[in-house]
A and B are shown apart, each in its own frame.
Chain A
Amino acid sequence: MGMPHFTISGHRFELEQSGIERCLQDRLPDPVQEHYVVVLGRRFPPKQVIACATGLDRADFTTHQARRILRRLGFVAARAAHEEEASEAEVGVWPRSGRQASALTPYVGKWVALAGPTEVLVAAETPQEVLGWLAQHDRKAPYGMFRVPATVAEAEGAAPE
């Protein structure tokens, strides 16, 4: 079976999942507005993914087209949920009832910048990359930035092994 092909903005492209993953492995995701697709465990705007894979300008196709293509290639696509404050009943004794820890789990060992308690704007290997991304996209991380510890010992103040 050959590589799937798609026609986008009058151009024909052969695309496959592994090629798209290679294209994005060293890129940081742009801010997600509404829709995203999951590539290598990170959420990317669909248009960023297709633009990266094809070299097309993002104005040449729609988010809907990009989503449809990426879903056909096997990527998970979804709509970003806006952060909701938990009700008092959900909160319990601890402020976030583990929701914050769950939100941070995919980013263990990475530097993250947060817009809110569970809203990760960007994750990267170095703090300089995080600051660069914020500057490039003119974004602020009002909640804060730090490196998500990889172990209990790191969370307690030890250095990584």
Chain B
Amino acid sequence: MRFDFLELPGQAGALFRPVVPVQFEDLEEAPQFCLVDTGSTANRFGGWLAEATGVDLAGAPETTVNLGGVMTTARHARADLTIAGLRYDAPISFCDPWPFAFNLLGQEGFLRFFRVTLCAAQGWLDVEPEGPGAKPGMRS
């Protein structure tokens, strides 16, 4: 499935970012734009999203991580993500505070489930489910 880069306002013209709309759990009414971050080992989402959708983080293991210059507490849990028609159970680090514009899609919770092709010259990315059990509409 092809997604256009998101165009953002910038001081010297538009900025273009490779983002993917992600349905978090059953939050169909508002897919969350997530930045594809090939350098990240984990999916990192704002903690508010877990609270808003009733994902129980009680007892979840915690670590303190430095993200983009911000010390944040990451609670590690799993949740269903739907991307490009594939719903799957993904490991996610829910971070609080989370002052960033986008959630981040990284290696373990995203890239290992999909084949991603980026074309920054034309501003698009293709995301196709890949690997065993990666059938659109099916949980892995």
**A residues at B contact (CB < 8 Å):** 93-96, 98-102, 104-105, 108, 113, 117, 126-128, 130-131, 134-135, 139-149, 152, 154-155, 157-160
The residue from B27, B28, B52, B99 contacting A159, defined by CB atoms under 8 A apart: B99
Contacts of B124 in A (CB 8 A): 95
Contacts of B61 in A (CB 8 A): none
Asked whether, in the complex, the Cβ of B30 is within 8 Å of the Cβ of A98, the reply is no
Q: How far is the CB of B62 from chain A (nearest CB, A)?
A: 20
**Cα distance, A59 to B43, chains bound together (Å):** 48
**Cα distance, A130 to B21, chains bound together (Å):** 16
Asked whether, in the complex, the Cβ of B100 is within 8 Å of the Cβ of A159, the reply is yes
Asked whether, in the complex, the Cβ of B68 is within 8 Å of the Cβ of A157, the reply is yes
Q: How many B residues are at the interface, by size bracket?
A: 35 or more
Q: How far is the CB of A5 from chain B (nearest CB, A)?
A: 41
User: What is the 8 Å Cβ interface bit string for chain B, positions 5-25, against chain A (1 contact, 0 not)?
Assistant: 111111101111101010000
Asked whether, in the complex, the Cβ of B28 is within 8 Å of the Cβ of A140, the reply is yes
B102 within 8 A of A: yes
Asked whether, in the complex, the Cβ of A145 is within 8 Å of the Cβ of B8, the reply is no
B32 within 8 A of A: yes
**Cα distance, A104 to B15, chains bound together (Å):** 12
Asked whether, in the complex, the Cβ of A94 is within 8 Å of the Cβ of B123, the reply is yes
Q: How far is the CB of A74 from chain B (nearest CB, A)?
A: 27
The residue from A101, A127, A140 contacting B7, defined by CB atoms under 8 A apart: A101
Contacts of A117 in B (CB 8 A): 4
User: Nearest A residue to B39 by beta-carbon distance?
Assistant: A157
Asked whether, in the complex, the Cβ of B4 is within 8 Å of the Cβ of A146, the reply is no
**Cα distance, A117 to B37, chains bound together (Å):** 22
User: Nearest B residue to A117 by beta-carbon distance?
Assistant: B4
Contacts of A127 in B (CB 8 A): 46, 48-49, 52
Asked whether, in the complex, the Cβ of B102 is within 8 Å of the Cβ of A146, the reply is yes
